[in-house]
Amino acid sequence: MTPPEYEYLRKFLRDQSGLDLSADKQYLIESRLLPLARKAGLAGISELVQRLQGGSSALSTSVVEAMTTNETFFFRDKIPFDHFRDTIVPEMLKARAGRKSMRIWCAAGSTGQEPYSLAMCLKEMGAALAGWRIEIVASDLSQEVLEKSRAGIYSQFEVQRGLPIQLLVRYFKQAGETWQINPELRAMVQHRQLNLLHDFSQLGVFDIIYCRNVLIYFDQDTKIDIFNRLARQIEPDGFLVLGAAETVVGLTDAFRPIAERRGLYKPNDARAAATKPVLAGAAPRTAAMAGLSA
C-alpha cells in the first residue's frame, strides 16, 4: 500500500464511520482489508482503493464493516450492569412510577450481548417491574452484527464469557453447539441500523443511553458532536453510561459525571434543555414497547 493509498483509506474511514486511525496503522488496514480484497477477487489493497475511488457502494460497506471492532461480551466490565440494577433502575422506578415505562438505547450494541444483558437484569428484577412497558433499542453501524444480535444465537465460547451459568440456563435454549436467547428476551430488544455520525433524532427521547466502547475510536470533535446530540435525546433526569476508557470530562458540559458511580453521567438540565430542538421534545416515546410481566 502506498502512502497516498493509506491516506485515502484513513480519510474514507473517518468520513464513513468516524474511525480515527493514526498515521502508523497500515498493518491494521492490511490485516483486515487484504482478506476482503482477495475474497472480492482483487489483487490487493491498491485495486481495492481504485474500486472505492470508482464509487463501489457494496465494497464501501464491506470495507467499513471490516474495519469496525465488534468486541463485546455479556455483562462486559460488570460495573455498568451493577449501576443499572442498583442505581439506574431503582431511580427510574420512582421517577417513572406514574407512567410505568422506560426507554433504553444501546447506541453501539454490536452482536447483542450488551442489550440482552440489560434485558436479563430487568427480568431478574421480577415483580418490581411487573406491568411496566420497557423498550430497548439496540443500534449499530454494522448490518452484520445486527443480524447476529437479532438472531440471538451464541457459541459456547460466547456464552462462557461473562454470563453467569444460572442466567444461561434460565434464558437460553441449547441448539446443538449453540445457544439461543429465549423469544421473550429477544422481543424486548428492537434493532436499528444507525451511524452515530448521522442524525439520530428520529429515535426519540430515552431515559437511559448506553454508549460504550465506541467513542474511543473517534477523534475529539466527533466525540463532542455526538455527546451534544445525545444530550438532546435523553430525558433531563436520564442516565448516560460510557465505557471504562471514555468520559465527557474536558469535552462537553452537556453531561456531568455522577460521584462514586464510575462511567455514569447525568445530563446537565439547562444545557440539555437549551440544545433540545423543538421537535425532539415532542418526539413519540415509542410505538412498540414491550410489556414486561413478572
Kindly state the smallest distance separating residue 248's Cβ from ligand SAM, in Å: 17
The C-alpha cell that represents 288 in the structure block: 412498540
Site residues, ligand SAM (CB under 6 A):
17-18, 68-72, 76, 108, 110, 114, 140-142, 145, 195-197, 212-214, 243
Kindly state the smallest distance separating residue 71's Cβ from ligand SAM, in Å: 5
Cβ proximity to ligand SAM, 69 vs 293, nearer residue = 69
Strand duo 178-181 + 153-155: pairing: antiparallel
Q: Any idea which residue has 460504550 for its cell? A: 212
Q: Which of 241, 265, 236 is nearest to 252 (CA)?
A: 265
Kindly state the smallest distance separating residue 140's Cβ from ligand SAM, in Å: 5
Kindly state the smallest distance separating residue 244's Cβ from ligand SAM, in Å: 9
Kindly state the smallest distance separating residue 94's Cβ from ligand SAM, in Å: 27
DSSP for 28-51, please give it.
HHHHHHHHHHHHTT-SSHHHHHHH
Q: Which of 232, 185, 182 is nearest to 206 (CA)?
A: 232
Angle between helices 57-67 and 143-151 (to 10 degrees): 70
Cβ proximity to ligand SAM, 69 vs 220, nearer residue = 69
Exposed/middle/buried for residue 71 (C-beta within 10 Å: 0-12, 13-18, 19+): exposed
Query: What is the C-alpha to C-alpha distance for residues 239 and 92, in angstroms, rounded to an integer?
Result: 10
Kindly state the smallest distance separating residue 179's Cβ from ligand SAM, in Å: 18
Query: What is the C-alpha to C-alpha distance for residues 234 and 240, in angstroms, rounded to an integer?
Result: 8
Q: What is the sign of the dihedral through the CA atoms of 247, 251, 254 and 257?
A: positive
Each residue of 238-253: b (16+ CB within 10 Å) or e?
A: bbbbbbeebbbeebbe
Kindly state the smallest distance separating residue 173's Cβ from ligand SAM, in Å: 23
Query: What is the C-alpha to C-alpha distance for residues 290 and 190, in angstroms, rounded to an integer?
Result: 10
Cβ proximity to ligand SAM, 54 vs 57, nearer residue = 57
Kindly state the smallest distance separating residue 172's Cβ from ligand SAM, in Å: 18
